[in-house]
Amino acid sequence: MFLEIKDIVKSFHNEHVVKTLNFQLEAHQTLSILGKSGCGKTTMLKTIAGLVSPDSGSIILNGERINDKKPSERNIVYLYQEDLLFPHLNIFENIAFGLRLKKLSNTDITERVSQMIKSLELEGQAKKMPNQLSGGQRQRVSFGRAIITEPSLLLLDEPFGSLDAGTRQRMQVLFKKLTKEYQITSLFVTHDLKEAVLMGDKIGYMHKGQLKVYEGKKEFINDPNTGVQHEIAFWDGLKVNSD
Ligand SMILES: Nc1ncnc2c1ncn2[C@@H]1O[C@H](COP(=O)(O)OP(=O)(O)OP(=O)(O)O)[C@@H](O)[C@H]1O
């Protein structure tokens, strides 16, 4: 198994925020994670990224226990809603940043960044500065910047939360395309039921610091705790009333 989370526990003072977290994820899969506000989703992602230390338990990535590694040594990217681009760098250089740190040759960088800009459907925007882009375009650049370094694991914390419905839908399609193209393994936290079903190969539901990962989408949809049945009943009710 590519990612194995074993018995992770995290408390802040007396608050047990993450309680005995156990789950696994295969390589190149996306696990969508839903859960009410305050149930511990961000804390879980930050613990895996190394930004928060767990009280106990193990994080195993590609067969290696990474608990004692610094965030920068984990090859994990944590991407959140308001992720900021470097304001003084243009789009090309924002995307190229991680490759320059890795000291790739200029030829390689130009080739890879140009390909990424194409995949992101941002052709013609390379020379613009971040403040000259729309919110959706900025979010695409953030994605490109994260994916181009080929992280072992991508952690997404409600990445499309601030986008309007249409842009959000286009980002979902693009995300699916890019994760396949770049063979990304990811955890995708969202508050949106439909987005969770669309984005995830697997779906998990977090409740009071515990995560349940469903065997399949059918089990998720049929569990009354996830809210899907409630949603279906709502739309069915509208249909009957408008007939
Ligand atoms: N650094 C911290 N110090 C103390 N308490 C914290 C800290 N970080 C998080 N918490 C607490 O842990 C709980 C879970 O927070 P977390 O951000 O993980 O929730 P979440 O599920 O991501 O919520 P949301 O969906 O609203 O983003 C909250 O009660 C929060 O106040």
Does residue 164 sit in helix, strand or coil? Answer: coil
CATH number at residue 167: 3.40.50.300
pTM for the full model? 0.91
The answer to the question of residue 96 being in a domain is: no
* Contacts (Cβ under 8 Å, ≥6 apart) of 206: 33, 34, 35, 39, 40, 41, 44, 212
| Domain-located, residue 141 | no
**Does some domain include residue 124?**
no
Is the CB of 35 inside a 6 Å radius of any atom of ligand 1? yes
Instruction: Tell whether 109 is covered by a domain.
Output: no
Q: In this structure, is residue 208 part of a structural domain?
A: yes
Q: Which residue has the tokens 């193209």?
A: 181
CA 76 to chain centre: 11
> If the chain, 243 residues long, is cut into consecutive pieces of 10 residues, what is the mean pLDDT of each piece?
95 92 96 93 96 96 96 91 85 95 94 94 93 90 91 92 86 90 94 92 93 90 86 81 68
Taking the C-alpha atoms of residue 46 and residue 10, their distance in angstroms, rounded to an integer, is: 11
Q: Is 39 in the pocket of ligand 1 (CB under 6 A)?
A: yes
- Spatial CA neighbour of 144 closest among 104, 117, 121: 117
pLDDT of residue 132: 95
Is 145 a member of any domain? no
DSSP letter for each residue of 83-151? PPPPTTS-HHHHHHHHHHHTT--HHHHHHHHHHHHHHTT-TT-TT--GGGS-HHHHHHHHHHHHHTT--
CA of 18 to the centre of ligand 1 (A): 10
The boundaries of the domain holding residue 65 are 3-86+152-242
Would residue 101 count as lying in a domain? Answer: no
Domain count, the chain: 1
Please report where in the chains the tokens 């953030």 appear, as a residue.
142
Q: Is 37 in the pocket of ligand 1 (CB under 6 A)?
A: yes
**Atom of ligand 1 lying closest to residue 40 CA:** 18
Atom 25, ligand 1: residue with shortest CA distance: 37
Write down the pLDDT at residue 243. Answer: 65
Q: Which amino acid is at 73?
A: E
Q: Provide the ipTM.
A: 0.96
Among 16, 37, 43, the mutation site with the greatest number of ligand 1 atoms within 8 A of its Cβ is 43
Tokens 């610094």, located at residue:
70
The pick from 10, 19, 42 for probing ligand 1's pocket by mutation, whose C-beta has the most ligand atoms within 8 angstroms, reads 42
**Given the DSSP bridges, would you call strands 30-35 and 56-61 parallel, antiparallel or unpaired?**
unpaired
132 contacts: CB under 8 Å, gap ≥ 6:
none
Q: Is residue 219 part of a domain?
A: yes
Indicate whether residue 38 lines ligand 1 (CB < 6 A): yes
Write out the two tokens for 201.
């190969």
Per-residue confidence (pLDDT) for residue 105, from 0 to 100:
95
Q: Which residue has the tokens 């499309």?
A: 160
